[in-house]
Structure 1
Amino acid sequence: MLTILFSLGILVWSIFLLDGLIGLHKIDPLEKEEDLESGSLLSVVVAARNEEKQISTSILSQLEQTYKNVEWILVNDRSTDTTGTIMEELTKTDPRIKVIHIETLPAGWLGKNNALYKGTLIASGKWILFTDADVKYDKHAFAKALHYFERHQLDHLTAAPNLSAHRFWLKSFVAFFLFGFSYFKRPWLANNPKSKIGTGIGAFNLVLKEAYESFGTHERIKMRPDDDLQLGMKMKKAGYRQRIVTALQLIEVEWYGSLREALVGLEKNTFAGLHYRISMVIFSVLGVFITNVLPFIMIFSGNKTIALLSFGNIVLSGILYVIVIKKLTLFSPMMFLVFPITALLFIYSIIRASLLTFKRGGIVWRGTTYKLSELREKD
């Protein structure tokens, strides 16, 4: 049985590796793009809840952009800290900043999705950039992104930022997450106009306002906790022109401050990514264990065939890991040395998030509990 599994694994890894080599090569680094010196208005929409420690630094980095025809719409989503006050103070530094305060959440909406949608209602720009309150920007980021957007005549552009992390196990976990996301979701297919597969990243989702409105706005994804990914996926599936780029030197975000924060943060969208299905949870857990953990155990098997096949699986997955990490992060590929351990941590995160979702009867996000029945209805 193991011989068949590991032989099949080598075939699958070979396919993934070839697909990744071709696909990742087609993801352009935004750093090499020219700047758009002048052009139409860009509306930046930032939805924030209890982001008093991050939002000022993020917005101030955006105000330094070389592209000047920009307006900012900061949406205070029912914050209980000083986020709203900081937003109002920021309006005094630049007249291009507008602030919306949301006090109550309408039925049938997730908080962030509602906040982003409300922000777009007063947006006047040709383009809308959805970004988070903890993202820091190089001064050329907007100009390069807009030039790339116009040059490729796009409806949607998303950019992979530098996901900074300061602790080893957090880095290794984030690296494994990106690796798993890459071979499971194949985000590079967003750059293939013939493919219906799309993607979206919350740190940087840039859309043509006209396309966003004709698509159906955030009302199409109002109960999706993975709103950033779903916006990109559904727009591409609907036929809108889309691309993904990397922006590792232009955009930076500290996704989580610790491994514990990462596990807590993934509670809200792990089960959503598996379509709220137990069958998908079981499939994912077994799949990750068999492909990313078991070969590291069975390489010590007394059966030479199984040991050799295990080695083949490890080598092929290692090559793909290095390629993905070098393309999408600034992390060291040497973290592959703890690959099976981080795979086990990832399995734990899937099981933990799924069990907590069932125990709570839904997810807790931005201070609000959303029932599983509501989430499934809108899936």
Structure 2
Amino acid sequence: MMLYLALFTFLFWFAVWLDAKIGMKKIAKLELVKEDESLYSRGPLLSIIVAAKDEEKHIEASLQSQFQQTYSNIEWIVVNDRSTDRTGTIIDQLAKNEPRMKSIHIKELENGWLGKNHALYKGYLQSKGEYILFTDADILFQKDTVIKAMTYFQNKKLDHLTLAPNLKGSSFWTNAFVSFFLFGFGYFKRPWKSNDPKSKSAIGIGAFNLLSRKAYEGIGTHRNIKMRPDDDLMLGKQIKQAKKRQHMALALEHLQVEWYPNLRSALIGLEKNTFAGLFYSYFMVLFAISGLFLSQLFPFIALFVTTGITQLIFLLSILMLFLAYNVTANKMAKGANIYLTVFPITVLLFIYSIARATILTLHRGGIIWRGTFYSIKQLKK
């Protein structure tokens, strides 16, 4: 029985590695895009919409990096979503010196909405651009990010382009956790399939979701996903379901974000969308935890409890797992391979994060996101 499990594990990771090795080559890198110089003077109006809640530490640096874009035909709609810190004051000060920027202050959340989704929708209502870019309040842009993205968007005749940023943490364990998350994202979501119009696979990343206004309105705007904690991913899914053209590209040299400042913050942050990502299904939670244990943790345990050919096959399974990690996480995060040294521990941490988020959601009867409680009944509805 153990031999069959070893063989299955090896074949599974071999298939994952081969699929990812071929697939990741299909994902473009933004730094390799040669910008269309005609867009400097004749580029269509782009509305950049930023939702911010208690972002006083990051929002000024983020917006200043956006104001320096070489693509000039931009308007900014920055939405202060019920912040209790200095976010609103910072936004208003920046708006005084940047005539292309408009600030909106939300005092109360409308019923039936999650805060961020509501803020982005309110920003859209005030926008005028032919194209819309939804981004977060803590993203740092290189000055040619937008011109390259718009060039790629128009060259590929897209309806939606999402960019993967360089995620970084301030500690070894945070970065190890982030790298493991990207590994799972790579082999489970298979992001390269989102570039295939024949595939139902879809992707959306909150750091950079660029859409044509026509496509965004065609999918019903954020009103169709107003209670989804994973709004960025669902935005991409709506695009694909509407049979519109979508691409994902890597922008590790052009977008940077501190995903979470420490491991504790990462675990808290995942509370809001882990259960949602598993479709609010207890079966999917058990399936995810069991799958992680059997495919990514047990091979290491098996090295100490098996012998002979079975032990050798489990060792080869770990090698294939590491190769799969190398072509996914290491392509989406700089220097991710160093965290293979603690891979079994990060597996345990991720299993813990899933269990923790699910138990807390059930105990509370919902999630707490940015200081607001949303019941499970509301979320499912």
Q: Shared fold by TM > 0.5? A: yes
Q: Structure 2 matches for 1:260-299, cutoff 5 A?
A: 260-299=264-303
The one-letter code sitting in structure 2 at the alignment partner of 1:181 is F
Q: TM-score scaled to structure 1, two decimals? A: 0.98
Stretches of structure 1 that go unaligned for 5 or more consecutive residues are: none
Mapped contact 1:325–1:331 kept (Cα < 8 A): no
Partner of 1:30: 30
Question: Within the alignment, does 1:200 sit opposite 2:204 as a pair?
Answer: yes
Specify the alignment match of 2:224 in structure 1: 220
Q: Which residue of 2 aligns with 1:67?
A: 71
Report the counterpart of residue 52 of structure 1 in structure 2: 56
CA deviation vs aligned residue, 1:5-39 (integer Å, no higher than 9, x gap): 22112222122111111110000100111224231
1:144 aligns with: 148
The AA in structure 2 aligned to 1:209 is R
- Structure 1, residues 289-325: CA drift from partner, whole Å, max 9, x if none? 1111110111123431321121121011100101112
- After superposition, the C-alpha distances for 1:248-274 in whole angstroms (9 at most, x for unaligned) are 111000000000110000000011100
Cα distance in 2 between the residues matched to 1:59 and 1:214: 29
TM-score by length of 2: 0.97
Letter in 1 for 2:151: H
C-alpha distance after superposition, 1:171-193 (max 9, x if no partner):
11000000011111111101111
Tell me how far 1:63 sits from its aligned partner: 0.3
Q: Which amino acid aligns with 1:109?
A: W
Aligned equivalents of 1:229 and 1:324: distance in 2?
A: 19
Partner of residue 2, structure 1: 2
1:186 aligned residue (173, 183, 190): 190
- Give runs of aligned pairs for residues 353-364 of structure 1, distance below 5 A: 353-364=357-368
Q: CA RMSD in A?
A: 1.0
Q: Which runs of 5+ in 2 are unaligned?
A: none
Structure 2 match to 1:246: 250
Q: CA shift at 1:225, angstroms? A: 0.3
Identity of aligned pairs, percent? 52
Contact 2:28 2:250 in 1 (8 A): yes
Q: Name the stretch that deviates more: 226-235 or 67-76.
A: 226-235
Given candidates 135, 139, 163, the residue that maps to 1:159 is 163
Aligned-pair CA distance for 1:238? 1.9
Distance in 2, Cα, partners of 1:256 & 1:119:
25
**Structure 1 Cα separation of the partners of residues 336 and 371 of structure 2:** 35
Q: Structure 2 CA distance, aligned partners of 1:223 and 1:325?
A: 30
Q: 1:324 aligns with which of 321, 328, 341?
A: 328
Whether the 8 Å contact between 1:197 and 1:237 is mirrored in structure 2 is no
CA contact (8 A) 2:176 2:336 kept: no
2:251 counterpart SS class: strand
1:371 corresponding residue in structure 2: 375
Deviates more, 1:313-322 or 1:228-237: 228-237
**In 2: Cα distance, 1:309 partner to 1:372 partner:** 44
Deviation for aligned residue 1:237: 2.3
